[in-house]
Chain A
Amino acid sequence: MRKVGLAVVVVLGLASCGQPKFEPHVAGAMQAMRDGDYKRYDASKTAAQHEVDDGWQPGGDPCQLQARDFENAGALDVVELLDNETVFKFSEDMRFVYTANVAAGTASTIGNTFTPEPWKPLGSARKIVSAMDRSSPPTPLS
């Protein structure tokens, strides 16, 4: 039942977004990849990690979980996919093909360009979904 509830919340959250927006840290990380600048990428990754650390944590009150927490976790997952310092030294063509291969299928990067199969949560986002599965239902108000 909780799974169904969570799925409804996620679907409604995504539906309310309208045109998918580009998460700033994902955009920063991709621009850094395009420019072949690993230091700038690393700064984007650190910022994305801070957003996740400052948000809802597994074990916390499920009522405090916000759509933004899913967005932040998903953004961090996408940013982490690009974490390969060697690739930043390759030619632009290779960097582009690498980025398209590792990140093009993930929800945060696709915009409305592609319509892949439904999103599946990766590392950070999966932790939130797993924690929600394990958490006890909120205590009803008396």
Chain B
Amino acid sequence: MIKTWRDDLEKRYGKDQFDRRMAAAANSLTDRGIDASWPPRMDMDYVTERARKF
């Protein structure tokens, strides 16, 4: 699901623009107080801890 979504966005924007836009989106989320990064952190200790705080 996420992979399909990612592929669709990447196809829409092109590879270079895609990463740039996602990084900008992560910054916008951070500006609104939501912890986000691009690329997302995948280590499970971080993901689990984040989910428990949620």
A residues at B contact (CB < 8 Å): 22, 26-27, 30-31, 34, 77, 80-81, 84, 86-87, 90-94, 96-106, 109, 111, 113-114, 116-120, 122-123
Contacts and interface: CB of A to CB of B under 8 A. Distances in A.
Nearest to B22: A97
25 contacts: A26-B1, A30-B1, A80-B54, A81-B54, A87-B34, A91-B25, A91-B28, A93-B21, A93-B22, A93-B24, A94-B29, A96-B25, A97-B22, A97-B25, A97-B40, A98-B36, A100-B2, A101-B35, A101-B40, A102-B54, A103-B2, A105-B42, A113-B3, A114-B42, A119-B44
Interface of B: 1-3, 5-6, 9, 21-22, 24-26, 28-29, 32, 34-38, 40-48, 50-52, 54
B5 A34 contact: yes
Given A98-B34, A104-B42, A120 B48 contact: yes
A26 B34 CA distance: 22
Q: Chain A interface mostly helix, strand, loop or mixed?
A: helix
